[in-house]
Structure formats: structure tokens, C-alpha cells
Structure 1
Amino acid sequence: MCGLASPNRSREENLLPVIIITGPTACGKTELAMKLADHFECQLISADSSLVYRRMNVGTAKPPARVLQQYPHALVDIRDIDQFFSAGDFVAEAGSAIRAARDSNKLPVLVGGTLLYLRSLLYGLSELPAADPQLRAQIEQEAQLLGWRAMHQQLVVIDPVAGAAIHPNDRQRIQRALEVYRLTGRPISELQSEAAAGILPGQKLTLILGPPSRSWLHRRIRERSDQMICNGLVEEVAGLVGSKSLDLPEMFERLPALRAVGYRQTIEALAAGEVRAEPLAEKISIATRQLAKRQLTWLHGNPAGVWLTAGASANCTRAIELVSRVIDGG
């Protein structure tokens, strides 16, 4: 493995850079992170909102225990499914993991595609206005009349960045984004981006794994969806919900972890009593493609990163070159 800190540089200059590996789902982020860990003394830090949860293994494509033992990841298996894990929680815990890695002369490598987490860590959590119960009730009434997808479309118009990052079914975040805009007259994404000077000191290198083509990405997503079902996704979800009432709105409100793509579709199939592999895999694939599209939209609109083509044989060599250069201050 390569050495990291240079004795000939000042303490500030010698602060190890933070490497970020991101990109749409199913593009091989974890594999690239592990290859970097083979070359450098690294601390891998998950930036995936579902990997924080225990017992959510199959549907999150969580690396198996033997892999996690060989390549330890911070922020994996740190919450139960009935516990909320916010962007603020991520910023606090990821910041702590980054400091611990640097103190141990290890290269902090964040890996994951939860863009809200990464954006919050890079740009900060701004001071947003307090909740306004009267305005929230008004937005709720509008949603009952128009539907939450229509409310999401309103958000896309006033704040394309937040609209791309927030799922059309995520009522809580849609409501909050609309509330902030109506209270301040400014997009929530703009306010959040202003917060942050100095939240993550030192150099940063963002590596973005992008698909070579849309058809390649769609094929990978479908293969992954099929594999999850073969690996026992339905059984895993059934074990998570147990004897709980499948009152879906109440369940998703109480157990936000289960809103994740793959879990939501499987729970809906269980509730309907229609669990068949082919239709379920197709529904998961469609939802995953929509997620990947939102991820790509945000990444293309935030060009502060180096794009690598997912699946390309030269990726590892190129990534090692880029990381070596930023460590050396180039």
C-alpha cells in the first residue's frame, strides 16, 4: 500500500484529502472503493441512506459480512429500521469518521449515491425557517386535492435541484421544500448551498461513475433487481414487517427505512397478496431507473467532479492516478 502524509508539508497542507465516489445506482461504486483500499491505506465511509440499517441486506445490495470484514465501512449497520437517520445525523457521523481516519493517517473515502447526504456534507445544512403549522396544513390540503405528484411537479418548477433529488413519493420532504419556498421566496437547495464554508476542510476529489449508455444502465438495474429477488428479498422484507399491520401510509411514516426502492415495492406486493417474481422485479427496476435518472440529473448539474465510465477496464488505474495526484497536492 502507498504511504500518505508527507513530512515536508505543513499540518494544513498535510490534511489528507477526502475522496468521494458517487454516481447512479448499479454503477460499481463499492467495487471501485475496494480497489482503492487495496492500493491506499483507506477508511471507507458509506454514504448510502439504506446501508445504515441493520437487517436490510438483500434489498440494499449490502456487501456480505466477509467483504465488510476485509473492507470495513463506517456508517453501515448503525441503526434499527424504526430509527430515523437524517442528513444532519449523516453529516455529524461522517464528519467524525473523516476526522478519525485522518488522525490515523488513513485516506477517508466516502462511497455512495445518497446525494442529499453528500450535498449536506459538502455544502452544509443551512439555517432554514422553523416549521409553520398553518402553512403545512395548507400544503397538506392542496396535496389532498391535487395529489402529491402534482405537488412534486410544483417543486420541480420552483427548485429543479431539489425536485431532482426528492422522490415524488417523499411527502415529508416535498412538503418541507414547498414550505421553505413559500416562507422565504427562495429555493431550499439554494439556501442549503449557502451554508457551508469550512464544513469539510481540506482538499476533496469527487469521482463520478457514470453509465456508458442508458441501455447499459437499464440492463444492470434489471439484472440487479432479478438477483435481489433470487437472493431472498421477499423473505427479508417479510421478516422485517413480521406481524405488523400492512397499513402502508402508516407503516412508511413509522418506518421510513422501508420507503427505500425495492422495499416499498415488495411491501406493496405483500399487502396486495400478489408476490410474483417477474412483475415485482419489473416494478423495482422501474423505480430504480427513476432513482438513477434523478441522481444523474443532479450530478450533471453539479460538475465539480471527475467522470469515469462505469465498467471501463481503465477506471481503477485512472482513479489511482487521480487520488495520488491530489494526495501529492497536484
Structure 2
Amino acid sequence: MKPIPRCIALAGPTASGKSAASMAIAQRWPVEIISVDSALVYCGMDIGSAKPSAAERALVPHHLIDILDPLQSYNAADFVRDTLRLVDEIAARGRTALLVGGTMLYFKALLVGLDDMPQADAAVRERIEARAREHGWPALHAELARLDPTTAARLPPNDAQRIQRALEVVEVSGRPISSFQTGRTHNPASPLAPEHLISLEPHDRAWLHARIAQRFDDMLAAGFLDEVRTLRARGDLSTELPSMRCVGYRQAWDLMAAHGDALTPELLDDLRTLGTAATRQLGKRQLTWLRSMPQRRVIACDAPDALVQVLHTVEHLLGPPA
């Protein structure tokens, strides 16, 4: 018999059905879930991040959820360190780690490894943020296009976090960020093999867009604005923090900062438009990364039997359910 892998992964764009599929897997096989999501690490960011419910977390152990305050930072290197430890601990309990999420930088760091790029420089970042406040991120994207056309070509003009990092690397090192990126496709030391990555990808992009819009409306109905108001009321958070740059939170925060915490119906419609557009852009970037992994196991998440296909694939990897 072939050995059972120590970890498998379920990836896909936002709203592709990863959470429901992961719970179906957990009900059949002895797994523990490791979240691969840069928003779920933060306490108090529950609705806007579609965090698993208390009932779901009671049914199966979840890791890397609610481990930090939104004032703190968490990066890909932190994720790799924590995940390597957790995979070993879960294996020691006779279980398989199931990595679930859509933060593709984290998956890339685990599968491919991290490039040896310059450390973050707070002073440089503040100067870049100040220029963005004055001129806007599209202007800084144009500046990046002059300094690092390769990186600028793959970033949308309003991708503040990645534009900022790319400009920071150029200023700190004198080299474009693209020169640090090795183009490797797999790190042999990774506990996750590319062929153990199950990828939920829609055939029809309109199907995903409809689910994104419905999810955003569901978040609003569940009290997302109250969640953002509570975060703003703390007084120590801002959109310069990685936590508050998360999709949905950034758009709600900016509207409240400009117009007050009580949004009018017209501004609420603006938030829906901005939030769903940003989420669609995120989904597009997630799919682009997934398609760079040719060994992944692709399942059409908009197929009527998508869940059956997921469970069949897991059975191929882990053997029949207990």
C-alpha cells in the first residue's frame, strides 16, 4: 500500500466552496484543518473573513485561526514556520493535516519556498504610503512600471499592498522585486506535494461572481458593518495594517472614514460595488496562481457533483473513509 501523505490541501478562489468541502472531508477521514488564510488569523474579524463557525470548529480541530490581534502582523514566513510544526504534531496524533484556504502566497511559500528578499523597512513604507495618499495608488503603479515593468505588468493599479512592497524592495535594495523571484515550481523539502493539492476552479466565471455577490450580501446581513465599526472604535487600527487591508474590510473602512460610520443606503450600494469588485479581482489573482501549478488536481467547483469528486479524490489520496 502507498503511504498516506502527512498533509493534503484544498485550495481555490474565494466563494468556491472550500469550507463546505473541508467539513465533508473531516466527517469522513481523521484530519485536522490548518487554515491557509491571512484574515482568519485575526481575532474579531469573523464575519468579513467568513470564519468557520463555533460548531464547525467543535466538530474538527482548526489551526491558525484567532491567533493574533489585528494590530499584529503575520506573513508567509510565519505561516510556513507554524505549518511545519503543526503538520508534525498532527501526524504524531495519527491524523492528516488538511490545509484549506485561498491565500496563495502562503501556499507558494510552503510549496516553493521563500525568496531571500530584503526585510520590511517601516520608514520606507511610510514614505510610500504618504505618496499614495497624495497621488493615489495608480500613480505609484505607474512609477513601479518604470522601475520594475515585469512586476507592474502583473499587478492591478490599485493593489496597494503589493505595489507598496515592490516599491519598497526597489528603494531598499536597488533591485526590482522580480529579480529576487527564482521561478521555482516546487521545493522538494515541502511537506505538501503539488499532486496532493486539490484545486476548486469554476468553468463559468459568472457562477463564481454570483456567489461572491451573494456572500457579500450575506455578510452585510450578518452584521459586517457592526464588526468594522467595532474595529474602528478601538482607535489603534488603521488601513496601513495588513489586517485592515483584507478585502471587504478595506472598502468598508475607507467609506466610513470618509462619510461616517452610519452609511446611507446609497453608500451601502457603493460598498457592495466596491467590495464585490475587489473580491472578484482577488479571485482572479487566486486562479492565476493556481493555474501556475500544473500538478494540482482540478475539480470544477460549479459542477453538480463537485463535492462527490472532491471526496473521491481524497479517497484516492488517503484511502477509504473509516
User: What is the Cα deviation at residue 311 of structure 1?
Assistant: 3.5
Deviates more, 1:282-291 or 1:271-280: 271-280
Match in the other structure for 1:266: 252
Match in the other structure for 1:190: 182
Question: In the TM superposition, what whole-angstrom CA distance separates every residue of 1:225-263 from its partner, at most 9, and x where no partner exists?
Answer: 111111111110010110528xxxx8222x320110100
Q: CA RMSD in A?
A: 3.3
Could you tell me which amino acid in structure 1 is paired with residue 246 of structure 2?
A
Q: Which whole-Å CA distance do the structure 1 matches of 2:11 and 2:312 have between them?
A: 17
**Residues 104-143 of structure 1 aligned to structure 2 (within 5 Å):** 104-129=93-118
Identity %: 32
Match in the other structure for 1:4: none
Q: TM-score, normalised by structure 1?
A: 0.81
**Residues 319-330 of structure 1 aligned to structure 2 (within 5 Å):** 319-327=310-318
Correspondence 1:148 to 2:137:
no
User: What is the Cα deviation at residue 153 of structure 1?
Assistant: 4.7
Pick aligned residue for 1:43 from 2, 26, 32: 32
Could you tell me which amino acid in structure 2 is paired with residue 251 of structure 1?
S
Could you tell me which amino acid in structure 1 is paired with residue 298 of structure 2?
W
Match in the other structure for 2:271: 280
User: What is the Cα deviation at residue 130 of structure 1?
Assistant: 5.9
For residues 196 and 165 of structure 1, do their structure 2 counterparts lie closer, same or farther at Cα, with a shift above 3 Å needed?
farther
> Residue 175 of structure 2 aligns to a residue in which SS?
helix
Correspondence 1:58 to 2:50:
no
Q: Which whole-Å CA distance do the structure 2 matches of 1:24 and 1:155 have between them?
A: 30
Judge conservation of contact 1:262–1:284 (CA < 8 Å) in 2.
yes
Question: In the TM superposition, what whole-angstrom CA distance separates every residue of 1:267-295 from its partner, at most 9, and x where no partner exists?
Answer: 11111116232221111001101111111
Could you tell me which amino acid in structure 2 is paired with residue 318 of structure 1?
Q
Q: How many residues align?
A: 310
List alignment gaps of at least 5 residues for structure 2: none
List alignment gaps of at least 5 residues for structure 1: 1-8
Match in the other structure for 1:72: 61
Q: Which whole-Å CA distance do the structure 1 matches of 2:310 and 2:302 have between them?
A: 13
Correspondence 1:225 to 2:216:
yes
Match in the other structure for 1:235: 226
Pick aligned residue for 1:295 from 286, 295, 302: 286
Match in the other structure for 2:198: 207
Could you tell me which amino acid in structure 2 is paired with residue 147 of structure 1?
A
Deviates more, 1:286-295 or 1:176-185: 176-185
Deviates more, 1:315-324 or 1:101-110: 315-324
For residues 78 and 137 of structure 1, do their structure 2 counterparts lie closer, same or farther at Cα, with a shift above 3 Å needed?
closer
Pick aligned residue for 1:314 from 281, 284, 305: 305
Judge conservation of contact 2:12–2:102 (CA < 8 Å) in 1.
yes
Consecutive aligned runs of 4 or more in structure 1 exceeding 4 Å deviation: 129-146, 151-156, 164-167, 176-182, 201-204
Q: Which whole-Å CA distance do the structure 1 matches of 2:194 and 2:227 have between them?
A: 40
Match in the other structure for 1:3: none
